[in-house]
């Protein structure tokens, strides 16, 4: 920076006198300012002690994040061979690591027992404690969902009591959904008829099978029905495919879908 002085001449012209050479000095490296440390306020000297040392501030090293820093530690157990001695050792603990390290037959049996216990609790709370009354017949969040759970339990355990209770619940849902205009599998009349027909097939009940199939064929789709799952054409298509899967192909022909 140079300092220039101006002097007014009688001829109304200016002459420049350069005194900057005497003021020029080479600044020190890394110096932020030339303020004397003792001239700074006391609070600044306490908060910024580096300023007292001629204003020199050290440079901070930047930490570069690499791919080696981006990982999660693998806490899963190693593979365990299915041996009888290791089965007893794995069954002794209840932690997640020991549970996942159990051999498949032992693990599947434990999960099966837990699922069946949960099924009994759900049936008791949604059917037994309600006085066997249906307020919501749908499979999505109603009583038909309990019937579907019993049907899935029967497929695994072949317990005829689950199938009989499932058939009883479906009959109650059939009466509750008789005036429903919904046509989907999980929220409408089609789900009651489709599940009822499949359960009747497994129970060798020909009369109930014919009844539910006839009721399913009476379901009519409106022209303004949306193409969605809960209350639309996709939900009705799900019911058709459910019947064809469990009762055989062409139970519901493609022309009716």
Domain ranges of the chain: 105-256
What's the chain's Rg over C-alpha atoms?
41
Measured CA to CA, the distance from residue 166 to residue 146 in angstroms comes to 8
Is residue 139 within 8 Å of 195, Cβ to Cβ? yes
Measured CA to CA, the distance from residue 256 to residue 68 in angstroms comes to 58
Q: How many residues does the chain have?
A: 257
Task: Say which residues have a Cβ less than 8 Å from residue 54's Cβ, sequence separation at least 6.
Answer: 28, 31, 37
Per residue of the chain (257 residues), what is the pLDDT tens digit?
Answer: 444 444 444 545 445 555 555 545 554 444 454 566 666 677 766 766 654 444 455 566 666 767 666 777 777 767 666 664 454 554 455 566 677 777 788 888 989 999 999 999 999 999 988 888 899 999 999 999 999 999 999 999 999 999 999 999 999 999 999 999 999 999 999 999 999 999 999 999 999 999 999 999 999 998 899 999 999 999 999 999 999 999 988 888 887 77
CATH number of 105-256: 1.50.10.10
Q: Which class for 205: exposed (0-12), middle (13-18), buried (19 or more C-beta within 10 A)?
A: middle
CA distances (Å), origin 51, targets 26, 38, 47, 55, 58: 20, 10, 9, 4, 11
74-77: long-range pairs with CB below 8 Å, 24+: 76/100, 77/101
Residue identified by tokens 């009747």 is 200
The tokens for 192 are 């009651």
């Amino acid at each position: 920076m140079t300092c220039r002085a101006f002097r007014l001449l009688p001829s109304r012209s200016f002459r420049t006198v350069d005194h900057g050479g005497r003021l020029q000095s080479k600044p020190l490296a890394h110096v932020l300012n030339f303020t004397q440390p003792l001239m700074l306020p006391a609070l600044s000297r306490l908060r910024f002690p580096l300023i007292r040392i001629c204003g020199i501030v050290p440079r901070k090293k930047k930490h570069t994040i690499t791919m080696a820093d981006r990982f999660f530690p693998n806490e899963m157990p190693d593979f365990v061979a299915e041996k009888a001695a290791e089965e007893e050792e794995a069954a002794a603990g209840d932690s997640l690591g020991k549970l996942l390290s159990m051999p498949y037959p032992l693990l599947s049996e434990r999960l099966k027992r837990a699922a069946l216990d949960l099924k009994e609790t759900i049936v008791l709370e949604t059917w037994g404690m309600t006085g066997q009354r249906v307020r919501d017949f749908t499979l999505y969040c109603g009583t038909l969902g309990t019937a579907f759970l019993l049907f899935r339990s029967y497929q695994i355990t072949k317990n005829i009591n689950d199938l009989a209770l499932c058939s009883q619940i479906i009959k109650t849902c059939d009466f509750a959904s008789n005036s429903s205009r919904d046509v989907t599998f999980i929220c409408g009349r089609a789900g009651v008829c489709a599940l009822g027909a499949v359960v009747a097939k497994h129970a060798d009940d020909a009369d109930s099978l014919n009844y539910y199939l006839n009721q399913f064929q009476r379901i009519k789709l409106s022209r303004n029905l949306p193409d969605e799952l809960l209350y639309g054409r996709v939900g009705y298509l799900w019911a058709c495919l459910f019947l064809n899967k469990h009762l055989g192909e062409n139970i519901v022909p493609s022309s009716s879908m």
